[in-house]
Amino acid sequence: MSRFRRLLSTPEGVAGLAILAVLLLAALSAPIVSPGDPLRIAGRALLPPFADPAFPLGTDRLGRDVLAGLIYGARTSLAVGLAAAFSAMILGVCVGMAAGFAGGIVDEALMRVVDAFQIVPGFLLALAFVSTIGVSTPVVVLAIALGAWADPARLTRAQVLAIREQDYVASARVIGMHPVEIAFREILPNALPPVLALSATIVAGAILTEAALSFLGLGNPNIATWGSMIAEGRSVLRSAAYLSVIPGAALAVTVLGVHLFSEGLVNALGDDGGRTA
């Protein structure tokens, strides 16, 4: 049974995939559902949900379409989350591979760097980085990745340290296989599954961090984000709570979907444990 079929055999995996599929469909269909700039003034201000068929979720204080902001915000959240997780995974896997495979002083030096990044909470590191460098989407992605790469690095190192002592790795050394070839052909494929399972958690954390930065006014002001929508609704929370509740619910559902997918992925990879080697 393939890993994907094992993922679909778990309730968590199915639920997570369903939620993420709906979000991805909404993000991809954003230009069709709401063409044009989602930040443009489209109608009367503070129009409540379902009061006008043209604005199913109402409008905000400036008359911007809440539905447009919601679906374009999904694009932002997914894009930032996936990009930050990918960057963090690449950096973490490379550092973990180098530390675990090289050993000795290289391992000690790299692990002290990892320790230094793990001491600082990821959100505080991202907040300081964005505040110092400036606000833009690439900077936000890099800031989130800098706060998230240490865990994949440590997990990759632990996997490499265990796998490099296996008999098939010793056999590869005996037949004269180059160390780099051993690292990428024999060790890395077997070390990746647990690290990949961690990537879903990093995506969820990245989405929350991006929303928190946007809520504080440190996100890209030229694009629609759920964090900025929640912040926009604070001043009219008593009279128009939907302005904060709708994007807040979307954020909660997205993180829930990612965590459910992560649980299903862990179960699917766990069922395969011990057979990849």
Domain annotation for the chain: domains and CATH numbers? 3-271 (1.10.3720.10)
Task: Give yes or no for a contact between 43 and 55, defined as CB atoms under 8 angstroms apart.
Answer: yes
Q: What value does the CA radius of gyration of the chain take, rounded to a whole number of Å?
A: 22
Task: Give yes or no for a contact between 66 and 57, defined as CB atoms under 8 angstroms apart.
Answer: yes
Average pLDDT of the chain is 88
* Whole-Å CA distances, 131 to 174, 218, 222, 228, 263: 52, 7, 17, 16, 34
**Phi, psi for residue 176 in degrees, rounded to 5:** 90, 20
pLDDT tens-digit map of 153-189 = 999 999 999 888 788 888 888 888 888 888 888 888 8
pLDDT tens-digit map of 34-92 = 888 899 998 899 999 998 898 999 999 999 999 999 999 999 999 999 999 999 999 99
- Is this prediction's pTM over 0.75? yes
